[in-house]
Amino acid sequence: MSDYLDYEQSYVGKLRKLTGDMTLIIPAARAIIRDIDGKILLIRRRDNGVWDLPAGGIELGESITDCLIREVREETGLEVIEALPLTLQTQPRFSFTNIFGKKYQMFTMVFLVTKWQGNLIKQTNETTDARFYEINDMPELSPPHAETIQDLQNFTGNLIVK
């Protein structure tokens, strides 16, 4: 029940109360975090059990980088020091329905975190596990997150806009 209360207090939850069942476009940040061996950090989401990259929606008054830093800290305990924008995911195919049956189209800025510090926390209010995976030995990810891994593999140093 606490997850629902957190959702209701979030910007998205408050906006949802005003808009009912209308599909909302939500700005969000997603993080690709690699360890010294190049493995990629995944978190197992508490709400649906899916393995994904650390990510989440922006709160009112935040910049997109503030969102990135907050979401990474909330989901992993790590502190982002430096990050580079990697790609934008904005197409309607990046829409999803949350556990409350509400529909969203994401407008997601994906960042490659180039410097971070801290100790990984495996369980948080939003996660049940977190660990680093080899890029070719990952569990199944949701489609937008799987595409983010593909974007990383194709990364040429330029911003990729989708």
Q: What are the tens digits of pLDDT across the range 51-93?
A: 999 999 999 999 999 999 999 999 999 999 999 999 999 988 8
Q: Give the pTM.
A: 0.86
Position 52 scores a pLDDT of: 96
- Domains contained in the chain, CATH given: 23-161 (3.90.79.10)
Question: Six-digit token pair at 123?
Answer: 């369980």
Position 32 scores a pLDDT of: 97
d(CA 140, CA 149): 11
d(CA 130, CA 127): 7
Residues 6+ apart with CB under 8 A from 151: 86, 87, 110, 160
> Side-chain half-sphere of 72: how many Cα atoms within 13 Å?
29
**Which pLDDT band holds residue 141 (cuts at 50, 70, 90)?**
very high
